[in-house]
A and B are shown apart, each in its own frame.
Chain A
Amino acid sequence: MRVKSIVCVKRVPDTEARIRIAGDGSSIDPSGVKFVLNPYDEFAVEAALKHKEAAGQGEVTVMSVGDAASAETLRTALAMGADSAVLLKADRTPEGLAAAKALAAGIQGREYDLVLFGMKAIDDDLQAVGPMVAELLGIPVASAVTEFSIADGKVTAHREIEGGAEVVELRMPCAITLTKGAYEPRYASLKGIMAAKKKPLEEKPAQVDAPAAPAALSYPPERQAGRIVGEGPDAVPELLRLLRQEAKVI
């Protein structure tokens, strides 16, 4: 089946990045932070590419709503092998419902069979945009999917749930949000990086709602490095005594 996929991606701080709160107390200080393609979105891009390759036909468009620097993130996805990119440009990268509305508006009017997302963005940790876009577009969604197959206008998705998996059948067009599973992201080859420069990257203004009242950011209470109870198996009784009498957890 010739499937047109739209993969929504976000530019986020690298997982290793040290996060510092900016002077305003409600945003993070981006200086010195390396930004990357959201790791969950990499699974989504990889899934779209794998299915296109398996079918021998199809089209993969990556889309992002965000600031100008998000173009760089789209280029990364193009270098992996996506065919074209769309940047819905805003002066800041929105989150939650505002991001979902902008993406849904960007998707509407395009031809698509499948909209893919990472299960969550690792900066806001909301895990909301995929299901919200699906709701706004009026299409079905399965979230936290590890693997899916496409046949006869339907997607069969394996969704991670507590203690197992749910097999969901979705009528296309539909949305899928991906978690880590069958799609190990490929590295962009040098050839891919060169090719990405020539691929179409369309930019258009995003429709972004005004942000909600700013949140107060704080660091979590520093975990006190605890105590080394001892060395080797002989420390076990003391450890259990502490867990029972001091921590009272067993």
Chain B
Amino acid sequence: MPGIFAFAESRDGELRKVAQEVVTAARKLADAAGTEVHAVALGGSGLQAAAAELGKYGADKVFVGESGAFDRYSPEGFTTVIVNFIREHGCDAALFPASALGKDLAPRVAARLGVEYLSDATALDAEGATITVTRPRYAGKVFSRAAVTSKPAVISVRPNSFQAAENAKAGSVETLNVDLGSADFGAVVKEIKAAAGEKLDVSEAPIVISGGRGLQDPANFKLLEELAEAFGGRAAVGASRAVVDAGWRPHGDQVGQTGKTVAPTLYIAVGISGAIQHLAGMRTSRYIVAINKDPEAPIFKVADYGIVGDLFQILPRMTEEVKKLMS
């Protein structure tokens, strides 16, 4: 029986947290189908040790492909290696993270295999080898649930939707041949521009604290950064479109329909009204907290907890209290 393929994303020789989530999701499908999880990690050198860790999350076999050409992501190179792997080993489903890399790579892989691709799954169910994918559409206004008809099913899973769970397997590590000959790629990553201090991305952080026009001035985002820091490196600062359009924050921080979709365990919306396009990006957060001076603000309709009042008074107090809690 062919296995379940799990793409284990790495950057700079280190596996990303989504790799554990993808393997955890794959394990569930493999258990239902009575098959194995084959995790594949591709990168420059130094991935072997990190990749072995994936056994802990349920990978039966981890295949590591190292090549100088893979120091950075290569759409064509990665697609070729993965498609060759799937053709050789077979698979019922191929899982990718719905990350920047996964969302670029997975559709390309699907097109080369000539199969459908379902992105940003928030739930996967399996009965034997039949896989059902639940994914949001219309910016989360509707969910669709469909059994995959063409095999292998190529699916990306939304970060933070599948909590990494330990489910130890032997997890043998094998070397994958990634010799692409004299491959001449049409797209080459020249440079990676990291945002200041390699900051945690809103799409991956377990806690997101977003600010809106209520912050009044870009300098006031310091208040959010201080709160994020109080949470000890687990929180990222996001923004509404209004403040991104005003040039206060980079687009990479924008949450919403034309920004990023986030699903943290805790989303704190500060001085954000809660327009439908903003909700589109954050409504699948596990818990939502709203801080707004207007008790009628639509954000309170989706928030689990709210405080009505002036953010300039509430935020410093919150930072102080969180610091106390965390110490």
Contacts and interface: CB of A to CB of B under 8 A. Distances in A.
Interface of A: 13, 15-16, 18-19, 21, 28, 39-40, 96-97, 100, 122-132, 134-136, 139-144, 146, 156, 158-171, 174, 179-181, 212-220, 223-233, 235-237, 239-240, 242-244, 247, 249-250
Given A166-B192, A215-B144, A218-B143, A100 B314 contact: no
Interface in B59-108: 72-73, 75-76, 79, 99-101, 103-108
Contact of B104 (A141, A156, A217, A249): A141
A227 B189 contact: no
Contacts of A131: 75, 104-105, 107-108, 111
Given A146-B251, A226-B306, A240-B325, A167 B189 contact: yes
Interface residues of B, number: 96
B258 A219 contact: no
Contact of A235 (B194, B286, B303, B307): B307
Given A140-B187, A143-B103, A96 B117 contact: yes
Interface of B is mostly: mixed
Nearest to A184: B245
B187 A142 contact: yes
A24 B176 CA distance: 47
A171 B186 contact: yes
The main secondary structure of chain A at its interface with chain B is mixed
Interface stretch (B22-30, B131-139, B218-226): B131-139
Given A140-B76, A181-B251, A216-B145, A228 B108 contact: no
Interface of B: 72-73, 75-76, 79, 99-101, 103-108, 110-112, 114-120, 135-147, 149-150, 185-195, 198-201, 203-204, 207, 231, 244, 251-252, 254, 257-259, 265-266, 276-277, 280, 283-284, 286-289, 295, 300-310, 313-314, 316-318, 321-322, 325
Given A15-B139, A171-B186, A220-B143, A96 B112 contact: no
A136 B110 CA distance: 11
Contact of A236 (B146, B149, B191, B318): B318
Contacts of B313: 232-233
Contact of B100 (A16, A129, A159, A169): A159
Nearest to B245: A184
Given A164-B192, A180-B251, A213-B149, A220 B277 contact: no
Given A170-B187, A228-B308, A127 B103 contact: yes
B300 A229 contact: no
A232 B300 contact: no
Given A162-B99, A232-B309, A250-B266, A218 B190 contact: no
Given A139-B186, A159-B100, A164-B192, 12 more contacts: A15-B257, A15-B277, A128-B107, A129-B107, A134-B108, A135-B112, A161-B100, A163-B200, A212-B149, A230-B308, A231-B309, A233-B316
23 contacts: A122-B139, A124-B137, A128-B110, A158-B193, A160-B252, A164-B195, A165-B192, A168-B187, A170-B186, A170-B187, A171-B187, A220-B136, A220-B141, A223-B283, A223-B301, A226-B304, A228-B307, A228-B308, A236-B307, A239-B289, A239-B318, A247-B305, A250-B322
A132 B144 contact: no
Most buried by A among B108, B111, B190: B111
Contacts of A240: 318, 321-322, 325
B306 A227 contact: yes
A169 B112 CA distance: 22
Nearest to A228: B306
Given A97-B115, A164-B192, A164-B193, A225 B139 contact: no
